[in-house]
Chain A
Amino acid sequence: MSVTKLKLNDDAAPARKAEIIALAREPRKARRYDLATLAGRVAGTVLPPLVTIALILLLWEVLCSSPTSSLPSPTRVLEESWELIVNPFYVGQGVDQGMFWHIFASLQRVAIGFTLAVIAGVALGALVGQSDWAMRGLDPVFQVLRTVPPLAWLPLSLAAFRDGSPSAIFVIFITAIWPIIINTAVGIRNIPTDYVNVARVLRLNPLEYFTKIMVPSAAPYIFTGLRIGIGLSWLAIVAAEMLIGGVGIGFFIWDAWNSSLISDIIVALVYVGLVGFLLDRCIAFLGRIVTRGTANA
Chain B
Amino acid sequence: MAKPYLSLEFVDKSFERNGIRSEVLTQVSLGVQKGEYISIIGHSGCGKSTLLNIVAGLTQATSGVVFLDGEVVDSPGPERGVVFQNHSLLPWLTVYENVSLAVDKVFSRTKSAAQRHEWTMRNLDLVQMGHAKDKRPSEISGGMKQRVGIARALAMEPKVLLLDEPFGALDALTRAHLQDQVMQIHTELGNTVLMITHDVDEAVLLSDRIVMMTNGPSAKIGEVLDVPIARPRRRIELASDRTYLRCREAVLKFLYERHRFVEAAE
Contact = CB atoms under 8 A, between A and B. Distances in A.
Interface of A: 1-6, 8-9, 11-12, 15, 192, 194-195, 197-198, 200-204, 208, 212-213, 216-217, 219, 291-294, 296-297
List 4 A-B pairs, minimum CB-CB distance, nearest first. A297-B91, A194-B88, A293-B92, A216-B92
Contacts of A200: 57-58, 75-76
B138 A293 contact: yes
Contacts of A294: 91-92
B173 A12 contact: yes
Interface stretch (B6-14, B17-25, B99-107, B207-215): B99-107
Given A5-B201, A9-B176, A198-B88, A293 B78 contact: no
A58 B172 CA distance: 66
Contact of B138 (A1, A12, A202, A296): A296
B93 interface: yes
A9 B82 contact: no
The CB with the most chain B CB atoms within 10 A, among A198, A200, A217, is that of A198
8 contacts: A194-B86, A197-B84, A198-B84, A202-B105, A202-B156, A212-B101, A213-B90, A293-B93
Interface residues of B, number: 34
A194 B84 contact: yes
Q: Is the interface of A mostly helix, strand, loop or mixed?
A: helix
Interface in B51-79: 56-58, 75-78
Given A1-B201, A213-B90, A216-B90, A201 B78 contact: yes
Contacts of B82: 197, 201
B170 interface: no
Nearest to B80: A201
Contacts of A6: 235-236, 239
Nearest to A202: B105
B235 A201 contact: no
B186 to A, nearest CB: 19
Given A8-B176, A297-B138, A204 B105 contact: yes
Contacts of A216: 90, 92-93
Given A11-B173, A197-B58, 7 more contacts: A5-B176, A8-B235, A194-B84, A197-B84, A201-B156, A203-B76, A217-B92
Contact of B137 (A208, A219, A293): A293
Interface string B164-196: 000000001100110000000000000000000
A232 B22 CA distance: 49
B81 interface: yes
A267 B176 CA distance: 69
B136 interface: yes
A76 B257 CA distance: 90
Interface centre among B57, B78, B101, B201 (most CB of A within 10 A): B101
A4 B201 CA distance: 12
A276 B78 CA distance: 48
B236 A9 contact: yes
A5 B90 contact: no
Given A8-B235, A296-B138, A203 B92 contact: no
